[in-house]
Amino acid sequence: MSGDELPIGRRVARWRVRRGMTQQVFADRLGKSKSWVDKVERGARRLDRYPTVQQIAEVLRVDPMVLLGQHRPPHQRDARTPDGVDGIRAALARYDREPGHPVPGVEVRRQVEYAWSSYQHAHYAQLVRAVPGLLAAVQGSSGREVLVPAYRITASVLVKLGAADLGWLAADRAMGAAGGDAVLAATAAVSVGQALRAQGRHRLALAATLAAASRLGTGPQEVAVHGTLLLQAALAAAGCGEQGRCAELTGRAAGLAARMRAGEDPQRTAFGPAAVELAQVVTAIEAGDAGAAVRGHSAVLRRDGWRRLPAEHRGAYLVDVARAYLQIGDLRGAARALVDADAIAPAEVRCRPVARTVIAEIAQRHPAPAGVARLASLVGLTR
């Protein structure tokens, strides 16, 4: 069997041996248990999250695509990831806040609105092109009401595109810009939690989101952000293996969602009963209970609130659901979820590293389900 045809767990084992590490040493460097490493290498536990693959690749000192069995030339890798991340990096590296031509406040707010709309519709290619100009505009402003959302949007799109370390920097900038405003600081903490989870730092994400939630009440300006923080904390708890805490946090979020009134989401969190149900499915996936996740997913699709969620939210969720189907060995279900995600928010499938990981896993099966070969070609995974 060639290296490309090996399961990913076998590739991990081969590279671990090449690096002269025992399973225990490898586990210690990853911050995992020896049992976890053994299950991964035997194929008893799937590696279906790109941040985890990245973390393993860093410890083994190899390119993540080597572990995924994709040996394309460097210039072909991530060909479908939108250009512009380096431009965002350069914009974040500017510390001067005195632009030569200050942008009028009305224009800054218009740019923020445009960026929010682009993000919620998953138009990531145009968003990464717009973000450097947005940051240049808001960095000349002292208004936290534009600084915080601009940095939040920046953090969110960077996390989507696999640049979680840079996303964390943008989220931290949002926290700093919020100052003493508890609600704005809480919205920034949502982005901090997302960036930390994307880096596999679940305990830090749990601490950050719970601390921010503890400073909020349940008034009309706070309830949606409060609930969103609880869901982020629940996802982090699931990543830590704390299932009891995860259930408690989603339960608290459900209570807040049930009391919400229409229009009580000024910070564009998309929080509500539907968001709670989606989070319950995703936390089950993170906990390794794919069967419960698939059952919950079937119920989610029957809810009226499902179609009212932003395209970005639904597309990202369906990519996670594809992971659940993979965990139970249902390739058709995984393929169907990916195709549905591509129909709702193409960039969620074609631009995100986590989606590439799932597509690669399905495409390597013989025969690959209908629709996956097309997606594999679109994201540059065919050889």
How do residues 104-127 score in pLDDT, each as one tens digit?
778 888 999 999 999 999 999 999
Q: pLDDT tier at 75 (50, 70, 90 boundaries)?
A: very low
With 50 as the cut, is the pLDDT of residue 76 above it? no
Q: What is the pLDDT of residue 7?
A: 79
Of 59-68, 201-210, 241-250, 323-332, give the lowest mean pLDDT range: 59-68
Distance CA 381, CA 374 (A): 10
Write out pLDDT tens, residues 337-380: 999 999 999 999 988 888 888 888 788 776 777 788 788 877 77
Distance CA 379, CA 363 (A): 12
Query: If you average pLDDT over every residue of the chain, what do you get?
Result: 86
Of 76-90, 200-214, 270-284, 288-302, give the lowest mean pLDDT range: 76-90
Class of domain 3-71 as given by CATH: mainly alpha
Of 1-10, 66-75, 194-203, 243-252, give the lowest mean pLDDT range: 66-75
Residue with tokens 């179609």: 307
Q: Please check whether residue 230 is in contact with residue 253, taking contact to mean a CB–CB distance below 8 angstroms.
A: yes
Q: What is the pLDDT of residue 106?
A: 83
Q: What is the pLDDT of residue 100?
A: 52
With 70 as the cut, is the pLDDT of residue 22 above it? yes
Q: What is the DSSP letter of 68?
A: T
Name the residue among 155, 284, 269 with its Cα closest to residue 223: 269
Buried b (16+ CB within 10 A) or exposed e, 267-300: bbbbbbbbbbbbbbbbbbbbbbbbebbbebbeeb
Distance set, CA 264 to CA 66, 145, 191, 346 (Å): 47, 17, 20, 29
The whole-number average pLDDT for the span 18-34 is 85
Q: pLDDT tier at 78 (50, 70, 90 boundaries)?
A: very low
Of 13-22, 281-290, 319-328, give the lowest mean pLDDT range: 13-22
Q: Is the dihedral of CA 132, 137, 141, 146 positive or negative?
A: negative
Q: What is the pLDDT of residue 371?
A: 81
- Domain ranges in the chain are 3-71, 78-179, 199-271, 282-383
Q: What is the pLDDT of residue 64?
A: 78
Q: What is the DSSP letter of 368?
A: P
Distance CA 264, CA 226 (A): 12
